[in-house]
Amino acid sequence: MTAFKTKALRAAVPALALGMALASPAVASAHEGDHGTGSGRDGGTTVAKVQLRQLNHSGAFGQGALVLRGNQVDIAFRVRGVLADAPHAQHIHIGAQGRCPTQRADTSGDGIVNTIEGHPFYGHIGTSLTTNGDTSPASGLAIDRFPTPDGTSYNYRRTITVTADVATNIRNGTAVLVVHGIDPNRSGAYDGSAPSDLDPSLPLEATSPAACGAFQTWKGGLLGLNLDLGIDLDLGLGRR
């Protein structure tokens, strides 16, 4: 299989779901979002933080937080140690154990925890964290609308409307942030002969998870959260 470069990926990959399975130049404005369905307008305001840790020995890590008001989510996070010049699909996963897998989840024995092997732990896609436009599971692999950093890090911030089940999972502490895209052979591109478990026309590296973190509800104020994470999230907790 030929090297999976960004331009080729954008040209060849349709916007399809992985459900079978702050700001920077590459990221949309904080107040640009698409709407899901469902009401879920009870529950008040929920603040949750997330610590991203590497999967598949990717070296990726990060941290961030979100503020949920009814069905509206203000989310901001930073990711470090990812493959440069390549798109990184990212989602809020729901409907499972609300935690991240370890390398023991590699049931195939190929050395990589693929997306499907991680599903029993973090669940299916609830929200696609695209940079603009639709955020439903149907945009799970909308590669032209996911961050493609020039370097090995990027920041993401956006205001979106989520579905009622996503809001419930956030409030219940069972929502998980997953960032995809690994480079285990250090080639500098998504390549290799192993096909993706989601779409055999893609390399396994392109869709396998690189970092994962469960959202944990936060009882303190936003200032304390900023200090805890070491970043200024600017999520407007006091806004009504």
Where residue 129 sits, what CATH number does that domain have?
A: 2.60.40.200
Q: Which helix (H) or strand (E) holds 217?
A: strand 216-217
Q: Per-residue pLDDT tens for 47-104?
A: 999 999 999 999 999 999 999 999 999 999 999 999 999 999 999 999 999 999 999 9
| Between 172 and 236, the higher pLDDT residue | 172
41 has a pLDDT exceeding 50: no
Residue 55 lies in a domain: yes
Residue 130, judged by CB atoms within 10 A of its CB (0-12, 13-18, 19+), counts as buried
Residue 22 lies in a domain: no
What does pTM read for this prediction? 0.80
Residue pointed to by tokens 């798109």: 87
2 has a pLDDT exceeding 60: no
Residue 230 lies in a domain: no
Question: How far apart, in whole angstroms, are the C-alpha atoms of residue 5 and residue 75?
Answer: 29
Count of the separate structural domains present in the chain: 1
Q: Per-residue pLDDT tens for 20-34?
A: 333 333 333 333 444
Range of the domain at 196: 46-220
